[in-house]
Amino acid sequence: MQPKDFDVVTNATPEQIKRLFRNCRLIGRRFRLAHIVFGRDIIEVATFRGHHGDNSDKISKSNAEGRLLRDNVYGNIDEDAERRDFTVNALYYDISDYSVHSYGGGIQDLEAGVIKLIGDPETRYREDPVRMLRAVRFATKLDLTIDPVAAAPIKQLSGLLKDIPAARMYEEVLKLFFAGQALNNFNMMRKYKLFAPLFPQVEHLINEAPHGCAAKMVQEIMLSTDDRVKQEKPVTPAFFYAAILWYSLKERAEEIEIESGLSSYDAYYAAMGDVMEKQCQTISIPRRFSTPAKDIWQLQLRFERSKGGRAFKLLEHPKFRAAYDLLLLRAAAEGGTIAKTAAWWQKFVEANEDERTLIARAKNKGSTAKKSNNRRRRRPANKKPKITEAP
């Protein structure tokens, strides 16, 4: 197996590293790290972690649930290995003799295809609940199974993820769903109840209708994202969040329309802020992605209204391609009217300029004829019969 990258670790403290390298800066409060600038690259260097003692209140701290809020207790390589989360993550490559040091049976566990925690699973998950997500990610990425002892407390402790800072969860979502194992990670996360703390609005819809449009959409998104990663095509969080939250947006818009009496169009606009704000409570979505996601939503409302020149104008929108891709996913999830709309747009997009003009005109004529047929004919006014007098 070829390593993707290496984590650099040393027995030097962050302050000692900073004194050695002029181009070094220290970051982090929870875990103090040294960033050494090397050309365009940044080499992150950690110090061996040690065991917490009775007199380490100033350098380590945990909350009532056992989650580590600060952990800057330093030690040696043996102590650091014991502080690692999984045995497969406690492998050290020694550059002095090019050897790999395995602690806790990491190499044997890799060969056996199993992920085991170092230490008591419940204690380790409480120290850092993100370890539950890491267990899932390592299992799917390395084609391993989670050891039953390590898996046992996950469902019970899954709610601890709600306490993780939303900014950190954003980074974890990128690792889970943008590395080619999105569908496998999603399925395993739902198995261990880890999806709900991250996407409560989506989980609510899936629970209400396990085979409904929202559930189908999530499957389509994960498959599509995995395919794009395998084909080395770009994937963007803006499209991902716009797609996965579409039916949450639709539900909220319908609620607003009923409650306030707004038009459907205005209700959708009002719902966009509500849905995105609620999602950002668990996953902090940067504005550079949340704003384009709203553009993609807004374009969904224009697809069925576009005819004649409007279709050409919509085609020029910077977010058209992403919105069009979402329309195709909606068609796969819903069928019916949306599928017909998607089929028309697919024909329009794939046509050349002359063909597009004909397609747009045909739609325009069809719409005009439909309106004409729907017009109510005015009934002639009832005329009173003429009364003629006899001569």
Question: Nearest-CA neighbor of 269 among 247, 253, 246?
Answer: 253
The structure's pTM equals 0.82
The tokens for 105 are 């049976």
Identify the top-confidence range among 3-17, 355-369, 373-387. 3-17
The 8-class DSSP code of residue 127 comes to H
**103 vs 347 pLDDT, higher one:** 347
Express as a percent the part of the chain with pLDDT over 70.
Answer: 86
The tokens for 352 are 């050349």
Would you name the residues annotated as active-site residues? 5, 7, 85
Identify the top-confidence range among 34-43, 54-63, 192-201. 192-201
Quick count: other Cβ atoms within 10 Å of Cβ 195? Answer: 23
Give the whole-angstrom CA distance, residue 186 versus residue 214. 14
Q: What is the pLDDT of residue 166?
A: 95
Give the whole-angstrom CA distance, residue 96 versus residue 274. 56
Site of tokens 């045995």: 87
214 has a pLDDT exceeding 60: yes
Pairing of β 41-47 and β 8-10: parallel
- In CATH terms, the superfamily for domain 1-83 is Beta Polymerase, domain 2 (3.30.460.10)
Give the whole-angstrom CA distance, residue 305 versus residue 295. 16
Give the whole-angstrom CA distance, residue 174 versus residue 236. 10
Give the whole-angstrom CA distance, residue 13 versus residue 4. 26
**302 vs 30 pLDDT, higher one:** 302
Question: For 56-76, what is each residue's pLDDT tens digit?
Answer: 444 445 555 555 445 568 888
Question: For 313-352, what is each residue's pLDDT tens digit?
Answer: 899 999 999 999 999 999 999 999 999 999 999 999 999 8
